[in-house]
Structure 1
Amino acid sequence: MSTKYLSTTVLSKELGMATKELFEVFDKSGYINRVDNAWVLTDLGKEKGGTIRKHPQHGNYIAWSEKIKSDSIFTQQQNDDEESAKNLLNATKISEHFGISRFRINLSFQR
């Protein structure tokens, strides 16, 4: 069975992310670097399933093995997002803390 490769744009759509955001994730993780206004695949990126593909009209681009979707950079980000959501405040949490009706809390923010 041959490995299926996805462009970063296609991969971003499958992951439900903006393409720019995915490039930032790969950059921060050390899988790619920005050199002279172009993205360059790093050795770590190659180890993680990245490769250079050539498009007849658009030239070279970075493609990723579809296995990259289960990489820890995505599972860790999901865990971070879930942890951040737990720490968000809402009217109910504020009202419980201060012993005030959540409706009064909402009203105070509408003024």
Structure 2
Amino acid sequence: MAKYLLLIYGNEQIWESMSEQDRKEVGAAHAAFTAAAGDAVLAGHELLPTTTATTLRGSASGRPTPTDGPFPEAKEALGGYYLVEAPDLDAALALAGRLPEVAVGHSGVEIRPINEPG
């Protein structure tokens, strides 16, 4: 079995403008995802907004310098993730396809294999 990181990206402005009912529906969809995926889900969390993020960047002195926020080039923000275990990429894609973010135009899910030594 391989491990995959499902990275959930979206437009933070749209998320922040959602009604409480819309947020509850997304939460219910994520609960349905984790129930359907069962033991395949090893971990997962929603992230706080990018306004709470700190990024470390290299500097000429060789010492990392902390800056507020994520990389500025990003058009979509990383909003959460799941670490899943699946027999292959097709199975990981099938799991990711159950996430509610793949059904709306303002977000998406990146599926990235984990490089495990050995």
More helix by share: 1
Do both proteins adopt the same fold according to a TM-score greater than 0.5, normalized to the shorter chain? Answer: no
The TM-score with structure 1 as length reference comes to 0.24
More strand by share: 2
The structure with higher relative contact order (CA 8 Å, sep 6+) is 2
